[in-house]
Structure 1
Amino acid sequence: MFFKTLDVRNILLFLTLAGFPACHALAHEADLQNSKDHIFSTGEKIHITVLNEDDLTKNYEIDDAGMILMPLLGKVHVAGLRPSKVEMFLTQYLQDGYILHPVISVNAPSVPPLQSRSFYILGEVENPGRYTIPEDNLNLLNAVALAGGFTYRANKEEFEIMRNKGEQKHHTKNNSAKAALRPGDLIIVRERFF
């Protein structure tokens, strides 16, 4: 009886280990597809490779305006675009007097999982809590709408945003409802004074 159990265990172990590389390959393939389908947004990093151009090949951070700053080209708008569209634009820009036949590859160094693309909204909104930033950019006013809108006591003119930057947390009072959100942001809608 012991040998039969041992044989079954060995067979199960073998089948599990034999299937692991296939599962890993499928997960890697899904990551590649997610990277190609990814839409860049503010606060993310974008990796650009320009063949034989070490000065241009690196990770760039997308600023609040949706731009990256590249040598030779200056500011280039990439937020809201997929990697293939950014490749096409950069190829066109670099062919205009900089590089004869540029070969460019663009991808997200790591497409964040859905859970890490969340933000928090507290205070004078109908449904405070955690929400997920959709693929396209989200601004403060959209965040309030996701949370069910303002309560009647809400100060609709001023929001407080707490944002992690490295090891520090930054507090910002922002009067612009169009300010872009980043993953991990905490928005506080205060009560207005009557």
Structure 2
Amino acid sequence: MSLSSRRNALPIAYAAILSAVFLVAGCASGPTVAPPSFATSDAAALERTYRLGTGDKIKITVFGEDNISGNYEVNALGNVSVPLIGEIPAKGMAIASFRETLVRRLSDGFLKNPRVTIEILNYRSIYVHGEVKNGGEFPYRTGLKLRDAIAMAGGYTYRANEAYVVIVREGQGEGQVPVGSAATVLPGDNIRVPERFF
């Protein structure tokens, strides 16, 4: 190979090496594609699988016991403070499991065969940040879609990658979710809109 040919080949070789480095770096870091559970959810599934967390507001009804029945909030320690029985752990528990714990505690020397129902009044907030115009904390509503959550934050900035977002979800870690999917946001989700690179 002539000297001039070798000189012409050097920039091409460097470009190829740099491309490979960036490709490997991109594959080695950052969130992975989210499992299907990130992208699909409905109100019924939420009721079945939802885990209580700090900031959730619930209504507890104990039939015939007006001094216990009322509205409660999961506090910063992840507990619900109930008259007669005190603090009950709630964070990370399904509604059915929390109800069972409450019934068991009430039955332990306080009430005979208590009938208890629990209803979620307000779910904990979601967070949208990154390449959106007005990022921050927003109230959750049942059936909230990913596109709606982005709209609540003022929509995209001109630098935004509009193809996907990164969601951090309690108990499931983080993952990339396509914006065009039928993804439903869940209470407590932390949604980051990444920046595009070109």
**Range class of TM-score, shorter chain:** 0.3 to 0.5
Judging by fraction of residues, say which structure has more strand: 1
Please give the TM-score of this superposition, normalised by the length of structure 1: 0.45
Please give the TM-score of this superposition, normalised by the length of structure 2: 0.44
Bigger Rg, structure 1 or 2? 2
